[in-house]
Chain A
């Protein structure tokens, strides 16, 4: 069978890589005790669909780095654990990585709830987490580096784009958990600030893995027939997207009438759908596989060679890991040690070329600068970029559109604080963030 063939190819590739690694046929052979890097992504359970790819991407990056001579002349060694889409297990596995395996840094997590679950562990054991997924913001921790987009690097520019296209009515459709709820809170406030009337916005939530979208889609249709241009801003997560888009297509909601802009749908998610009826629906990311730069072409070629399958796609969180991993390597080289405190201090200010032709920079608030791209789905399951910000957008940890977080600022270089209250002129510290 085809997939068995793929699996064999993959194993063969892995075996070759391993053989080369052992025989050490490289100019600079890393030597000495390996530096361990933790990979904390679910390989089973609901989130395996998204996270397994990131585990593979990390293995590829570590492999590449070893070919280039490792870090500080020492080889890197990946330690992979499987938190199985089980949030408390994330914390347990993180503890195992840091205290038993003694890893220098951890790359991992996807959902916000898994990140929140490991936070106390990273603070207690003072280690480093690189988090590669777009998230709702409202957080900045000393031990965490956020390489995915904050809301101002994804949601706000997407809404701006649609406003330019003449959209006046908004459906905020999301899965019922922390990321959509916070993002929609930010967006609702932003839209109202821009003069959108309350009756022109509806917010709706559905459970995880929701599959019967008939009522929701017909409500969207009804809401969109009021004579004003309507758009759907979708923070629907994971598996629920496929039935959502199928129902939209079946009920004849075309992107030219009611475009859907999604923040969680990338190339990987589209792989499960026939995209012909979805042409024109939008997604906002900081990276698309279709972006035409030499760096990206190189990255895609390496990925295909590593995974042994030309059909596998690349996506935004993979690029985030690419940037984050290279930043970590540079910071370790700069600090001359893998000691967490030294690396945390070295990271802000580090620059790394991203795959879309820009230079991303780690900011003092532990977020990075990124370009924002808006893409339309095409009939090959890829995105055509229709709009892009001129400059890289710096990630903002605390939204300027929520009254309670407007006054907060995160700065781990000067202020040494993740939630500095600019009005009261003091650091709120842990008491405020523990919720």
Chain B
């Protein structure tokens, strides 16, 4: 974009011409006139100056214009440089007055230019809104204002904050405002007792931001009373943070473990129960993820209202798709190779490459976008740890899948037959069980479960043809570590590996952490070749 040089001149001109009238208008400070200054091609500095000017009016109506600016919804019309809030309506824009929000008709998109923003502009708006919305009607807005003021720690805000605290009725907002006041007090030149009290308030908040403020304050102050109070608070907060760090590692470990469990649980059937070294297992997971993509694409085009349900709809379909592919694989290939592990390994590896390239040809090599439904987006705080909804739901989902599979194996006729066939094939056949049919169903079940895992993994990983490759090694690791042929072993193995990995990561880094885990597993397998939960009994070597 080589327009920047003319832009520079333009914005200089705007500055020169714009500042003259601005000085004259300062006396009246009419927000409607000031807002119009966003129009025309502006430099970022000029835009920031207009924001400051708007904030100085103290008029609550400017909050609407400022918020629109931050969200990138503020536009100016090319014909007369008039400023509007605009929302897209088909190929046109509906425009609104920036202060009152009254509709001013629709215009074609070519007539409007966006007021340019960047991060520092967004921050300037947030700062300005903090001052403006301290007395807003909506408690959520007041809460946000207090949080902004907390991090700004501006002594000049103590007065307005005192007034706001006196008028505040919502206790949560009030507490946040008191914290904001405390941070401002620490930065001010008030008496030492006031500061010691402020340090106590911050100690109650007990998070990293408060810690930073207290450390800076303790280093700067000479007053023994305030310093002592601050240092006591620092120790308390540090202990609190250390505790929550450990909690966080456990949580992240469980979360990683649940992902490993999901990826490995299908393999626990095909490899663990049947003994088939299935290198195409990862591709079954990938097919599940692509099924989710297709379902979402279909819903987007035909029934957008169902989007929140897209994952629920994708689950059975993913099971059927991957299960069907697994069935075809077993009937068409694997059944000829039973008892020949090396050939099975090579053949399934070939299948995995074929599936990858097929998906690449149909859907293209680039990542496909799978959206998160609202209930899987965002996070909430537990103490000092933020728990993301998608991870939480994946843990729940992994456990549900695990329990369901356990129930299928132990409570259904198919499960009974599966166990019979794996324990003693000839005896089972003699009892009248159709062993080839049971083999096919078992393999299809394992593949279908992998497909279900793909639905969940599409929420946290790339949906690309390579999706499966990233999980295949980890899956085998979990199944071997946990003990081949034992579902509980897979569960405990996955969770152990997840937690060990996450406790190592902060010290060793992600790369070294993974290597250390691998070395530990090798050593463990040397000691216990059959994994954590070894199968016992006569049929072990059968």
Q: Which residues of A contact B (CB under 8 A)?
A: 2-4, 43-46, 48-49, 52-53, 165-166, 176, 204-207, 209-212, 214-216, 218-219, 222, 225-227, 239, 242-243, 246-247, 249-252, 255-256, 259, 268-269, 271-274, 279-280, 291-293, 356-358, 373, 376, 378-379, 384-386, 388, 390
Distance in angstroms between the alpha carbons of A228 and B218 in the assembled complex: 17
- Within 8 Å CB of B506, what residues of A? 215, 219
Interface residues on B, range: 35 or more
CB of B154, distance to nearest CB on chain A (Å): 14
User: Of B213, B248, B386, B464, which one neighbours A239 at CB under 8 angstroms?
Assistant: B464
**Which one of B120, B388, B461, B510 lies within 8 Å of A207 (CB-CB)?**
B510
Contact: B505 with A215, CB < 8 Å? yes
Q: What's the nearest-Cβ distance from chain B to residue A39, in Å?
A: 15
Cβ contacts under 8 Å, B364 to chain A? 3, 52
Residues of B within 8 A of A205 (CB): 509-511
Q: Are A214 and B1 in contact (CB under 8 A)?
A: no
Provided the pairs A165-B120, A243-B461, A273-B369 are in contact, do residues A358 and B386 lie with their beta carbons within 8 angstroms? no
Contact B366 A256 (CB under 8 A): no
Contacts of A44 in B (CB 8 A): 356-357, 360
Please tell me if the beta carbons of B2 and A293 are within 8 angstroms of each other in the complex. yes
Write the nearest CB–CB distance from B7 to chain A, whole angstroms: 10
* Contact residues in B for A43 (Cβ distance below 8 Å): 365
Question: Which listed residue (B123, B208, B365) contacts A48, Cβ 8 A?
Answer: B365
- Let me know if B511 and A207 touch, CB within 8 A: yes
Q: Are B72 and A239 in contact (CB under 8 A)?
A: no
- CB pair B390 A250 closer than 8 Å: yes
> Once the chains are docked, how many angstroms separate the CA of A176 from the CA of B372?
29
Give A310 to B462 CA distance when docked, in angstroms.
23
B419: interface (CB < 8 Å): no
| Residues of chain B within 8 A of A211, CB atoms compared | 460-462, 470
Is B4 in contact with chain A by the CB < 8 A criterion? Answer: yes
A215 with B502: CB separation less than 8 A:
yes
Tell which of B72, B123, B209, B368 touches A256, judged by Cβ atoms closer than 8 Å.
Answer: B123
**Using Cβ atoms and an 8 Å threshold, which residues of chain A touch B212?**
225-227
- The answer, yes or no, to whether B259 is at the interface (CB within 8 Å) is yes
Most buried by B among A53, A211, A373, A384: A211
**Residues of B contacting A273 with CB < 8 Å?**
367, 369
In the assembled complex, how far is the CB of residue A319 from the closest CB belonging to chain B, in whole angstroms? 13
Known: A239-B466, A292-B1, A376-B119. 18 other contacts (CB 8 A): A3-B364, A44-B356, A49-B464, A52-B365, A165-B120, A207-B514, A210-B510, A212-B255, A214-B256, A215-B249, A215-B505, A215-B506, A256-B119, A269-B367, A273-B369, A274-B369, A280-B119, A357-B1
* A249 nearest in chain B by CB position: B377
Assess the A3–B470 pair: CB atoms within 8 A: no
Alpha-carbon distance A211/B465, docked complex (angstroms)? 15
Q: Is B166 an interface residue (CB 8 A)?
A: no
Would you give the 0/1 interface string for B240-275, flagging 1 where the beta carbon is closer than 8 Å to chain A? 000000001100100110010000000000000000
Separation of A274 and B463 alpha carbons in the complex (Å): 13
Contact B1 A356 (CB under 8 A): yes
Query: Do B1 and A293 touch across chains, with their CB atoms under 8 A apart?
Result: yes
- Minimum distance in angstroms from A34 CB to a CB of chain B: 28
In the docked arrangement, what's the CA distance between A45 and B360, Å? Answer: 10
Contact of B209 among A49, A218, A225 (CB under 8 A): A225
**Residue B538 at the chain A interface, CB threshold 8 Å:** no
- Tell me whether A274 and B461 are in contact (CB under 8 A): no
Instruction: Report Cα–Cα, A255/B122, bound state, in Å.
Output: 10
Chain B, range 166-201, C-beta contacts under 8 Å to A: none
Question: Are B4 and A272 within 8 A (Cβ)?
Answer: no
Name the A residues within 8 Å of B377 (CB-CB): 249-250
A102 to B321, alpha carbons, bound, how many Å?
46
**Residue of chain A at shortest CB distance from B510:** A206
Residues of B within 8 A of A272 (CB): 366-369, 462-464
Q: How far is the CA of A249 from the CA of B4 in the complex (A)?
A: 32
Residues of B within 8 A of A249 (CB): 377
The 8 A CB mask of B100-137 against A (1 = contact, 0 = none) is 00000000000000001011101100100000000000
Beyond A212-B259, A242-B462, A250-B390, is A379–B72 a contact (Cβ under 8 Å)?
yes
Q: Provided the pairs A52-B365, A211-B470 are in contact, do residues A357 and B118 lie with their beta carbons within 8 angstroms?
A: no
Q: How far is the CA of A195 from the CA of B505 in the complex (A)?
A: 30
Give complex CA distance A332, B379 in Å. 58
Residues B460 and A252 in contact, CB atoms below 8 Å apart:
no
* Contact of B460 (CB < 8 Å), options: A243, A255, A259, A280: A243
Q: List 15 A-B contacts (CB under 8 A).
A: A3-B364, A44-B360, A53-B366, A209-B469, A215-B505, A225-B212, A226-B212, A242-B462, A247-B388, A250-B388, A259-B119, A268-B366, A272-B366, A272-B369, A280-B119
- Please name all residues of chain B whose beta carbon is closer than 8 Å to the beta carbon of A280 when the two chains form the complex: 118-119, 122
Whether the pair B1, A255 counts as a contact (CB closer than 8 A) is no
Among A204, A216, A242, A293, point to the contact of B367 (Cβ < 8 A): A242
**Nearest residue in B to A162 (C-beta to C-beta)?**
B119
Contact A46–B466 (Cβ < 8 Å): yes
List the B side residues contacting A250 at CB < 8 Å. Answer: 377-379, 388-391
A376 to B356, CA, bound (A): 34
Is the C-beta of B331 less than 8 angstroms from some C-beta in chain A? no
Given contacts A227-B212, A273-B369, A384-B116, contact A4 B362 (CB under 8 A): yes
**B378 adjacent to A252 (CB under 8 Å):** yes
Given contact pairs A44-B360, A272-B369, A272-B464, A218 touches B2 in the complex (Cβ within 8 A): no
Cα distance A166–B124 in the bound complex, in angstroms:
13
Q: B316 at the A/B interface (Cβ < 8 Å)?
A: no
Q: Are B1 and A373 in contact (CB under 8 A)?
A: yes
B3 within 8 A of A: yes
Q: Which of B320-374 contact A (CB under 8 A)?
A: 356-357, 360, 362-369, 371-372
Q: A376 touching B118 by the CB < 8 A rule?
A: yes
Contacts of B514 in A (CB 8 A): 207
Q: Which of B1, B357, B460 has the most CB of A within 10 A?
A: B1
CA–CA, A53 and B510, complex, Å: 31
With CB as the reference atom, state the residue of chain A lying closest to B388.
Answer: A250
The complex places the Cα of A388 from the Cα of B44 at a distance, in Å, of 13
CB-based contact B367/A378 at 8 Å: no
**Given the complex of chains A and B, what is the CA–CA distance between A247 and B505 in angstroms?**
17
Q: Which residues of A contact B465 (CB under 8 A)?
A: 48
**Set of chain B residues within 8 Å of A210, measured between Cβ atoms:** 510
Residues in A with CB closer than 8 Å to B369 are 271-274
> For residue B294, which residue of chain A has the nearest CB?
A1
**Taking each of A46, A49, A388, which has the highest tally of chain B beta carbons within 10 Å of its own beta carbon?**
A49
Contact, CB under 8 Å: B208 / A2: no
Contact with A along B1-37 (1 / 0, CB 8 A): 1111100000000000000000000000000000000
Say yes or no: is B216 at the interface (Cβ < 8 Å to chain A): yes
B511-A176 in contact (CB<8A):
yes
Cα distance A243–B464 in the bound complex, in angstroms: 12
Kindly report which residue of chain B lies nearest to residue A385, judged by CB atoms: B1
Q: Is B297 an interface residue (CB 8 A)?
A: yes
CA distance A67 to B323 in the complex (A): 50
Instruction: Tell me the minimal C-beta distance from B490 to chain A in angstroms.
Output: 19
Is the CB–CB distance between A390 and B464 below 8 Å? no
Could you say which residues of chain A place their CB within 8 Å of the CB of B255?
212, 214
Compute how far the CA of A112 lies from the CA of B511 in the bound complex, rounded to whole angstroms: 20
- Shortest beta-carbon distance from A279 to chain B in Å: 7
Centre residue among A43, A214, A216, A390 by max chain B CB count within 10 A: A214
Q: Are B2 and A209 in contact (CB-based, < 8 A)?
A: no
Across the interface, do B4 and A215 meet the contact criterion of CB distance under 8 Å? no
Whether A49 lies near B2 (C-beta < 8 A) is no
A10 to B407, CA, bound (A): 49
Cβ contacts under 8 Å, B118 to chain A: 280, 376, 384, 386
CA distance A330 to B370 in the complex (A): 44
Given contacts A3-B362, A206-B510, contact A214 B391 (CB under 8 A): yes
Contacts of B470 in A (CB 8 A): 209, 211
What is the CB-to-nearest-CB distance from A87 to chain B, in angstroms, rounded to a whole number?
16
B216: chain A residues within 8 A (beta carbon): 227
User: Chain B nearest CB: distance from A347 CB in Å?
Assistant: 25
Write the chain B residue with the least CB distance to A296.
B1
